Amino acid sequence: MRPRKKPRPRALPGAKEPGRRPEARVIEIKMLLARGLARRRAAAGLSQKTLAQRLGSSQSRISKIERGHPAVSLDLLVRALLAAGATRGDLARAIASAN
């Protein structure tokens, strides 16, 4: 019996760029948003602890979010940005700028 082949990962919509894997695009966008969170939080005069309290999370989790830790979900990153005062328009512009 032959071993089964692994299924190919499906491409994300709109992520077809020659020579780039879709996962790389997602990571790039997450890193862009993470850096934006750190800037937005600092500009708003919020500490990591204060932002964590707004999210119902911990200061160490905010640190991981801002560093772009791979275990942080995109959902948590977006919720943190919104808690720091970002609007949906801000998020859309940030994601569009990654293209």
- The CATH number of the domain where 71 resides is what? 1.10.260.40
- With respect to residue 5, please indicate whether it lies within any of the assigned structural domains: no
- With respect to residue 39, please indicate whether it lies within any of the assigned structural domains: yes
Question: Residue 20 forms beta bridges with which residues?
Answer: 17
- Res 98: pLDDT: 79
Per-residue pLDDT of the chain in tens (99 residues, 90 and over written 9): 666 766 555 554 444 555 667 788 888 999 999 999 999 999 999 999 999 999 999 999 999 999 999 999 999 999 999 999 999 999 999 888 877
**Residues of the domain holding 46:** 22-97
pLDDT per residue as tens digits for the range 68-91: 999 999 999 999 999 999 999 999
Nearest CA among 91, 99, 96, 87 for reference residue 34: 91
- Res 15: pLDDT: 47
The number of domains in the chain is: 1
- Res 7: pLDDT: 59
- With respect to residue 41, please indicate whether it lies within any of the assigned structural domains: yes
**Structure tokens belonging to residue 64:** 């991981």
